[in-house]
A = this chain, B = another copy of it.
Amino acid sequence: MRHWLSLAEHSPEELAGLVALARRLKRGDAAAAEAIPGRVLVMVFFNPSLRTRTSFEAAMLRYSGHAICLSVGGDLWKLEHRDGVVMDGDAAEHVREAVPVLCRYGDALAVRTFAQMKDAAEDAADPILRAFARYATVPVINLESAAEHPCQGLADWMTIDEKLGGTRGRRFTLTWAPQVKPLPMAVPHSAALAAAAAGMHVTIAHPPGYELNAAVLDRAASWCSAAGTKFAVTHDQRSACREADAVYVKSWGSAKLYGDEAAQRE
């Protein structure tokens, strides 16, 4: 079963193909949506969503498909995703029961599940999304998980491509910004990966202590290396922005302070 969980699991060529498909759709080539008519997308939300949910639902409807939207803890009871735990809490059902059932009703499953931000390694392992994928018998789509927001990454790629008239060889800077509360790393992870896959020079700039996930950085660096572009991580945000063709401003929490929101706010 082929899932859509992470940019890091696909090749830059595959990702470029998806952006090309999106361009065809945007130009009005409805044949590019040939997979959609009559299909049912079941969307499961562990967290709220505005752009992602509405754009997916509108896309399914406009191309003659259907979307069923389910909120965990609202429309649905709470779900357990860990294996081997005693389920005597408020999770009435395990993902291993729920997911195969939902796969009988839908042609694909889409899941939003934000980072818990208590343990950076656990968030990087994407436990809830991976549990869905493990038990699914239809493709699973990541609508932002603990580790990545791959659709956002492709949308960013497409936007930069439109604004700059191409991405290859352009200089992309992802720069950290302050926020009143610590935010997940899923979006900056996917932005960095998308920029690398798009053939841009990638600079990631942030204060000390705000390192992104090492495996994600390695993957982005290796894609840049293969494309012959530069990849750098720096604490000099000012220079990184000055020399960029595209600046991506985003806040994320410090993994060192995970689980300590009071310290993060300072």
Contacts and interface: CB of A to CB of B under 8 A. Distances in A.
Interface of A: 38, 40, 42, 45, 48-51, 53-55, 57-58, 61-62, 66, 68-71, 74-77, 87-88, 93, 98, 101-102, 104-106, 180
A49 B92 CA distance: 11
Contact of A50 (B66, B88, B101): B101
A180 B93 CA distance: 13
A54 B74 contact: no
Nearest to A50: B76
Contacts of A87: 180
Q: How many monomers of this chain does the complex have?
A: 3
Contacts of A88: 180
A61 B66 contact: yes
Contacts of A38: 62
Contact of A54 (B61, B62, B68, B180): B68
**A-B CB proximity, top 6 nearest:** A58-B105, A61-B66, A88-B180, A48-B77, A54-B105, A50-B76
A102 B53 CA distance: 10
A102 B40 contact: no
Contacts of A105: 54-55, 58
Nearest to A69: B75
Contacts of A51: 101
Nearest to A61: B66
A162 to B, nearest CB: 14
Nearest to A47: B77
A231 B173 CA distance: 66
Given A40-B58, A61-B68, 4 more contacts: A48-B74, A48-B76, A55-B105, A71-B75
A102 B52 CA distance: 10
Contacts of A61: 40, 66, 68
Contacts of A104: 55
